[in-house]
Amino acid sequence: MSRTRFAPDRGLARRMVSTMFLIGLLYVVLVGVLVALLGNAWPMIVLLVGGMFIAQFWFSDRIAAFSMGAREVTPEQAPELHGAVDRLCALADMPKPRVAIADSDVPNAFATGRSQQKSLVCATTGLMRRLEPEELEGVIAHELSHVAHRDVAVMTIASFLGVLAGLITRIALWGGLTRGNNRDNGLGIALLVIPLVSAVVYVISFLLTRLLSRYRELSADRAAALLTGRPSALAAALTKVTGEMARIPTRDLRQVEPYNAFYFAPAFSGSSLSKLMSSHPTLEQRLDQLGRISAQLGRP
């Protein structure tokens, strides 16, 4: 990655490499099964899967930003947000990303982009209205850390296989239902094996991305706290945002829940099983880490 003043995280780098290797292996297995079962249709399979992968990599940031309602703003339109990004980029010695605002009362922020030069950082109106300037800077530093460490790009690529496997499963099941009892030329075997393999691939890729996502959130908290030197401000922002989530209508939280992996804080904390599958570590884990960093820095 391009050099910045964000604290490097070798543990995150190792996990990203391991995740990408395993995701790539699953990708090869999935394509191999499709080619083996669908025979002469393999050129179309390779073209389709390759096209989807390229589209996901090149346009995922725009798709995600559009889906989450982000609109790019100028320094005149959002001086406070641009000021925070300017100060942090200068402090981190990194290129300034595009700055956006999402008109949502859900207090949150996210970053997208396959590189530092193509990145975008967005805060919701609900977040900006609720946080103090130091707290907002802590959240933005957290998001800029995702960009600097390139884990946003890795998560985008890693999540593609799960999306593809889920899509193939639905198509295969739908095809099986619409074809009824037709089992000629091995079609019945293919209709049984394809959704089964796709479902297994989806579950494994889901677990891999969740494990990486939880670690990368802790890494971003750590890097942001060390860069700003104010872990208590980030802890205050985390506590405030998590508490405010309980006051947001469930309907609004459900709308943003599919994008939890991109957000600063998840829309739902949920049950023990939900926490196990969550894209984020628990609030207690994040605050505990920030408390240790405060002690190391000698800050209250």
**Dist. CA 285–CA 15, nearest whole Å:** 19
User: 124 pairs with which residues across the strands?
Assistant: 102
Whether 137 is catalytic is no
Cβ atoms 17, 74 nearer than 8 A: no
Cross-strand pairs, 70: 102
d(CA 34, CA 46) in angstroms, rounded, equals: 9
Closest CA to 6 of 88, 115, 68: 88
Q: How far apart are the C-alpha atoms of 112 and 120, rounded to whole Å?
A: 5
Catalytic residue among 76, 80, 137, 143: 143
C-alpha pair distances (Å), 138 with each of 37, 85, 229, 245, 269: 51, 11, 9, 18, 21
**Active-site residue numbers?**
143
